[in-house]
Structure 1
Amino acid sequence: MIGKLTGRLLEKTPPTVLVDVHGVGYEVDVPMSTFYALPPLGETVSLRTHFVVREDAQLLYGFATEAERAAFRQLLKISGVGARIALAVLSGLSVDELALAIVQQEAAQLVRVPGIGKKTAERLLLELKGKIGAPAGGLPAGLDGAPGTAANDADQSDVLNALVALGYSEREAVAVVKKLPPGASVEDGIRAALRLLARG
């Protein structure tokens, strides 16, 4: 199993890159999210990888982050989803955007990805629920169809829970929720919070 490659970036031809590791050139297919983050040719690149061995081919897929690779592997577990569709999903959506779509069961995000229709998008969201960007125990109340709190701060509480489900620490989530404008909907609050967190 090849789990990671670190070497000199020789070629970039979307979606494939060529990485020279001690004189051996590895052809690696990457999602566009990783492709856009690559350094200039000739510089050192490090990729997390997923290695597939078939009767007719040996294929190597690369990712800039462990979160991308984990999402790719979860997508591959779904019946009817191959590497091509999985790469397309991660090329059209960041891991955070995919996790948010799963938390909210929002098929519209996935339908925009080439090759994915409404029925496929709905099946992906259903099968990925609780597996990407959410704790193993399930999704927070109020975001999975279960009744949420009726208190006035219910929306902020749901935003906080969603951020924790997306992998942020409770401390980070509390800090960013305090910066949100009052009266924002859960969806708008989550999007605004993710933008603030992305800025660091």
Structure 2
Amino acid sequence: MIGRLTGTLLEKNPPQILIDAHGVGYEVDVPMSTFYGLPATGQAVVLHTHLAIREDGHFLYGFATTEERAAFRQLLKVSGIGARTALAVLSGLSVSDLAQAVALQEAGRLIKVPGIGKKTAERLLLELRDKLGGALPTLAGSAIRAGAPATGPADARTDILNALLALGYNEREALGAMKGLDAGVGVSEGIRLALRHLSKG
């Protein structure tokens, strides 16, 4: 099991990044909450990881905090929730927001995540009850950090669109959420604002 990865950040193609660790390039999928806080390419990065071994391959998921990884693992235990949906949940909600939604049994906040309908949201809230409460006090005051834009405006908009599509939103939803973005917005900030728009929709 690969539990922690330290290396040089080579590429950022949300939601996937590439990390060079001692000459080996690791492709890692990360939630947007982690992506926002990544350093610029060429900088050192440390991620807590979860390795999933399936018939169609080995998949590595990375997280900025152990709380995020713990929440991801709890989400995977819910029937009907796969890794892609779990990443989408953590991209739309911080761990503290998720813990709060579970504590208050607010299905409405989860239904806005692509891939989660009413029944799945209710099942998720039921199965996660009493499992995420410990993360709430430590993360309640945490804020999202937006990284500096590393690409030009046109490339940034393409990356934002691709990230939203990869998270499960359709092209109409993604383009609609991007309409109000400033022309020079960076990738991290653009994704954050688009997800905020989608969560209100």
- TM-score between both structures, scaled by the size of structure 1: 0.68
Counterpart position of 1:71: 71
In the alignment, structure 1 segments of 5+ residues that lack a partner are: 135-164, 169-193
Q: CA deviation at 1:116?
A: 1.1
Deviation at 1:80, TM superposition (A): 1.4
Q: Which residue of 2 aligns with 1:14?
A: 14
Change (3 A) 1:128 1:118: same
Q: Which residue of 2 aligns with 1:117?
A: 117
1:167 to 137, 144, 164: 137
Distance of 1:47 and 1:114 partners within structure 2: 25
3-state SS of paired residue (1:68): helix
Are residue 81 (structure 1) and residue 81 (structure 2) matched?
yes
Q: Distance in 2 between matches of 1:44 and 1:87?
A: 23
Give the Cα separation in 1 of the matches to 2:61 and 2:29.
Answer: 5
CA–CA distance in structure 1, aligned partners of residues 103 and 12 of structure 2: 34
Q: Which amino acid aligns with 2:49?
A: T
Opposite residue 136 of structure 2, the aligned amino acid is L
Q: Does the CA-based 8 Å contact 2:95-2:136 persist in structure 1?
A: no
CA RMSD of aligned residues (A): 1.6
Question: 1:45-194 alignment to 2 at 5 Å?
Answer: 45-134=45-134, 166-168=136-138, 194=140
Residues 29-60 of structure 1: per-residue CA shift (max 9 Å, x gap): 00011111100000000000000112220100
Q: 1:61-116: per-residue Cα shift (whole Å, max 9, x none)?
A: 00000000000000111111110110010011000000000110011111111111
Q: In structure 2, what residue type is equivalent to 1:106?
A: E
Which stretch shifts more, 67-76 or 54-63? 54-63
Once residues 72 and 55 of structure 2 are traced to their aligned partners in structure 1, the CA distance between those partners, rounded to angstroms, is 21
TM-score normalized with structure 2 length: 0.68
Distance in structure 2 (CA, Å) of the matches to 1:9 and 1:133: 33
- Confirm or deny: 8 A CA contact 2:19 2:25 kept in the other structure: yes
Aligned pairs, how many? Answer: 143
Distance in 1, Cα, partners of 2:133 & 2:97 = 10
Q: Gaps spanning 5+ residues in structure 2: where?
A: 144-201
The one-letter amino acid of 1:98's match is: L
Q: Deviations over 1:109-151 (max 9, x none)?
A: 11111111111111100110001124xxxxxxxxxxxxxxxxx
C-alpha distance in 1 between matches for 2:37 and 2:51: 21
| Alpha-carbon distance change, 128 to 93 in structure 1, aligned in 2, over 3 angstroms | same
Percent identity over the alignment is 68
Greater alpha carbon shift after TM alignment, 125-134 vs 15-24? 125-134
Aligned to 1:31: 31
- AA of the residue aligned to 1:15: P
C-alpha separation between the residues in 2 aligned to 1:60 and 1:99?
24
Give the Cα separation in 2 of the matches to 1:125 and 1:61.
Answer: 23
